Structure 1
Amino acid sequence: MSRGCGFDLRGLRCPLPALKAKRALGRARTGEQIVVISDDPLAGIDVPNAAREAGGEIVSVEPDGAASRFTMRKPG
């Protein structure tokens, strides 16, 4: 499994965190993990939906201060 990369998207509002997460996951290699940090109140709904639309899966969602840390993976 590849470690992947991360994106700190704090301060961006809907729909930008979801769109950037979807784009990153779409460009990821098979097995790669992408970590997205977002403080957008709608990210808890939008980022997982965007991950599924990109063919990915959510590995974990964890609190990160006032934000949430989403770990996604591109299955293979």
Structure 2
Amino acid sequence: MPETSKPKRTLDCMGLYCPIPLFQTRAEIDKLQVGEILEVLSDDPAAEEDLKRFARRTGHEIIRLERKDDRLR
């Protein structure tokens, strides 16, 4: 992640399953200022699609998605 894209907060949702990662992501985003970045860590198989859908519906931007093994960042 480039220095200009450094996350303001990191949300660890490892071991949590739908819908908890989405609820926690929404709560953390509400704490951020416009332009700040939230990094979400998850191993929920549904998280990638859930987060993409959430971003699309709420007008937020996903800067980057990385999947390594069963983990999403």
Length-normalised TM-score, structure 2: 0.79
- CA-based RMSD of the aligned residues comes to 1.8
Report the structure number with the largest CA radius of gyration: 2
Contact 1:21/1:50 (<8 A) preserved: no
Amino acid at match of 1:55: G
Provide the residue aligned with 1:60 in structure 2.
64
CA 1:25–1:53 in 2, change beyond 3 Å: closer, same or farther?
farther
For these two proteins, the number of residue pairs brought into alignment is 69
Structure number having the greater strand percentage: 1
Map residues 19-58 of structure 1 onto 2, 5 A cutoff: 19-58=23-62
- Which runs of 5 or more residues in structure 1 are unaligned? 70-76
Q: What is the rounded CA distance, in whole Å, between the counterparts of 2:53 and 2:27 in structure 1? A: 13
* Overall identity of the aligned pairs, in %: 32
